[in-house]
C-alpha cells in the first residue's frame, strides 16, 4: 500500500502539481508529509507561522533541490551557496540589479517587444512563452553583456538557445545515471558541449569588458570593475553566475508572462483597464514610475499568486524545533510551498479566481505571498523581472490586438523546474 501511495503521489506531483497540492490541502490542510520519488520523505508546508520561521532563516539551510543544480552550474554560483558565503556573493552581485541600472533597459525592452510583435503573422496562432522568451533573451543578453547590434546579438542568442534546450526535464539534475558524457550521443554530453560553447563565448566577452575604459551599463562590466567594498570574482565564477542568470532569469520571466497573458486576456475588462492606464508608457518624458500603474502591477502580482512558476522552495532543518504542534528534526527536508500559501483560502478568498483587486488594498500578505522566494534567498533578479513583466504586457496591449486562441484553456505542464501553461499560452494576432 505504501509503495502504491508513493507511486501515485510521485506521478501526480510531477504531472499536475497544482491539482495534487489542492487535493492534499483539502484533505490535510496547509501542512502534510509525503514520500515522493527523488524528493524523498519531505514535509510540504504553507502554514504562515512556519513561513515566518523560514523568513527568519536561522533554523534552516539550503535544501537538496538547490544542491542538485551544482552538477551543471558548478559549486561557485550564488544559487548553490549558503549562509555567509551566500551573503558575501549576494553583496557582490546586488549592485547590477539596482533599480537605476535595471531601468536603463526599459526602452530596449519596449523596442525588442515591438520588434518581435511585428514579426508575428496575423491570424496565426503563436506561443506567448516562445514569444516572450525571444524578447527576454535578447534583453537579458544585452543587460548582462552590454548593448549589441543585431549582427552581434544573433550569434549570442543562438548559443544561449542551444544551452537552454539542454534542459527539458529536471530528471537530469536528480538522477546521476543520466549524467554520463558520451559526447553527442547522450543528452548530458550534448548539454556539456553546449555549456562549453557558451562558456567560451562569455570568456571572450569578459576579456573585452576587462580592457574597456568606459562603463557600458552592462552587468559584466560592473562585475569586473568592482569597488573596494565588493569581492572581485575570477572568470570561472563570473561564467557560473551568468549561466545561472540565463537559465533562471529569462526562462522564469517568460513562464510567468505566459501565465499573465493567459489570465489577463480572459477578460476584455482587464485588458481595457490596463490599456486606459498605460496610454503614456511609451513616452520617455511623461512615462510614470512603474509603481504608479497600480492596476497593471496588481495584475502582475495576482497572476504570480494564482500560478507561481516555482511551486515550492527547499530547506533543510539545522536543529530540532517545534511549530504549530509538529516537531521538526535536524536534517529533515522541508518544502515551503509557494502554491499552497498563495491558495490559502483564509488569506485569499476565491483563491482559484484571477482577481487583481486583491492587490489594490493594503492587506498584508507577507507570510502567504512569496513568488520570488524567502528571506536571504529571495531571487536576486526580482527588480528586473518586475520591470519586464508589466512593460511587456502593456506594450502588447497598446501596440497589437491579441486574443486567446479559440478553445484554449491554460493547464500547467512541467518544463525543467518550472510550470508553464500548456503550449505556452496559445494566442492570435488580429
In the predicted structure, residue 308 carries a pLDDT above the cut 90: yes
CA distance 178 to 264: 39
Per residue in 371-424, pLDDT tens?
Answer: 999 988 899 999 999 999 999 999 999 999 999 999 999 999 988 778 999 999
**Which secondary-structure segment (H or E) carries 427?**
strand 426-429
Q: Which of 353, 360, 352 is nearest to 295 (CA)?
A: 360
Give the residues across from 404 on adjacent strands. 427
Per residue in 282-302, pLDDT tens?
Answer: 776 667 888 899 999 999 999
Percent of the chain with pLDDT over 90: 60
Q: Which of 379, 241, 392, 240 is nearest to 310 (CA)?
A: 379
Neighbours of 329 (CB within 10 A): 9
Mean pLDDT comparison of 46-60, 71-85, 165-179, 233-247, highest-scoring range: 46-60
Burial class (CB in 10 A: 0-12, 13-18, 19+), 209: buried
Burial class (CB in 10 A: 0-12, 13-18, 19+), 75: exposed
Per residue in 328-381, pLDDT tens?
Answer: 999 999 999 999 999 999 999 999 999 999 999 989 898 999 999 998 889 999
- Rg of the chain over CA atoms, in angstroms? 22
Per residue in 36-69, pLDDT tens?
Answer: 987 889 999 999 999 999 999 899 987 666 666 6
Strands 333-336 and 40-45: parallel
Q: What is the DSSP string of 152-199?
A: HHHHHHHHHHHHHTT-S-THHHH-GGG----GGGSHHHHHHHHHHHHH
CA distance 387 to 294: 13
Q: What is the pLDDT of residue 178?
A: 55
Question: What is the length of the chain?
Answer: 430
Contact 398, 278 (CB under 8 A): yes
CA distance 238 to 374: 24
Q: Positive or negative CA dihedral for 367, 368, 369, 372?
A: positive
Q: What is the pLDDT of residue 229?
A: 63
Amino acid at each position: 500500500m505504501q509503495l502504491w501511495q508513493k507511486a501515485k503521489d510521485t506521478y501526480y506531483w510531477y504531472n499536475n502539481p497544482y491539482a495534487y497540492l489542492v487535493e492534499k490541502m483539502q484533505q490535510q490542510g496547509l501542512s502534510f508529509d509525503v514520500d515522493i520519488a527523488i524528493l524523498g520523505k519531505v514535509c510540504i508546508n504553507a502554514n504562515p507561522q512556519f513561513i515566518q520561521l523560514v523568513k527568519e532563516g536561522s533554523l534552516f539551510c539550503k535544501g537538496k533541490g538547490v544542491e542538485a543544480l551544482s552538477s551543471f552550474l558548478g559549486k561557485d554560483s550564488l544559487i548553490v551557496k549558503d549562509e555567509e558565503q551566500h551573503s558575501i556573493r549576494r553583496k557582490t552581485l546586488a549592485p547590477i540589479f539596482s533599480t537605476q541600472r535595471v531601468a536603463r533597459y526599459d526602452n530596449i525592452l519596449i523596442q525588442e517587444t515591438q520588434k518581435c510583435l511585428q514579426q508575428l503573422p496575423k491570424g496565426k496562432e503563436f506561443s506567448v512563452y516562445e514569444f516572450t522568451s525571444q524578447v527576454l533573451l535578447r534583453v537579458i543578453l544585452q543587460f548582462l553583456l552590454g548593448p549589441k547590434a543585431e549582427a552581434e546579438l544573433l550569434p549570442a542568442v543562438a548559443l544561449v538557445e542551444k544551452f537552454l534546450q539542454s534542459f527539458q526535464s529536471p530528471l537530469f539534475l536528480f538522477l546521476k545515471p543520466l549524467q554520463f558524457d558520451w559526447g553527442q550521443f547522450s543528452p548530458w554530453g550534448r548539454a556539456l558541449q553546449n555549456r562549453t560553447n557558451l562558456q567560451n563565448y562569455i570568456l571572450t566577452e569578459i576579456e573585452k569588458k576587462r580592457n574597456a575604459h568606459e562603463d557600458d551599463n552592462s552587468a559584466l562590466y560592473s562585475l569586473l570593475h568592482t569597488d573596494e567594498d565588493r569581492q572581485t570574482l575570477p572568470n570561472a565564477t563570473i561564467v557560473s553566475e551568468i549561466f545561472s542568470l540565463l537559465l533562471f532569469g529569462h526562462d522564469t520571466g517568460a513562464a510567468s508572462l505566459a501565465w499573465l497573458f493567459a489570465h489577463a486576456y480572459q477578460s476584455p475588462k482587464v485588458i481595457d483597464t490596463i490599456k486606459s492606464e498605460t496610454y503614456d508608457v511609451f513616452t520617455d518624458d511623461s512615462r510614470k514610475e512603474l509603481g504608479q500603474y497600480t492596476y497593471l502591477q496588481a495584475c502582475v502580482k495576482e497572476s504570480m499568486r494564482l500560478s507561481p512558476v516555482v511551486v515550492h522552495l527547499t530547506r533543510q532543518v539545522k536543529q530540532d524545533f517545534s511549530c504549530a504542534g509538529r516537531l521538526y528534526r535536524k536534517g529533515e527536508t522541508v518544502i515551503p510551498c509557494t502554491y499552497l500559501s498563495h491558495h490559502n483560502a483564509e488569506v485569499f478568498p476565491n483563491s482559484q479566481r484571477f482577481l487583481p483587486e486583491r492587490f489594490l488594498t493594503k492587506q498584508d500578505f507577507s507570510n502567504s505571498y512569496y513568488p520570488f522566494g524567502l528571506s536571504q534567498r529571495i531571487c536576486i533578479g526580482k527588480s528586473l523581472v518586475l520591470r519586464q513583466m508589466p512593460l511587456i504586457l502593456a506594450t502588447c496591449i497598446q501596440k497589437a490586438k491579441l486574443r486567446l486562441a479559440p478553445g484554449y484553456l491554460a493547464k500547467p505542464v512541467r518544463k525543467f523546474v518550472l510550470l508553464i501553461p500548456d503550449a505556452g499560452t496559445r494566442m492570435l494576432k488580429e
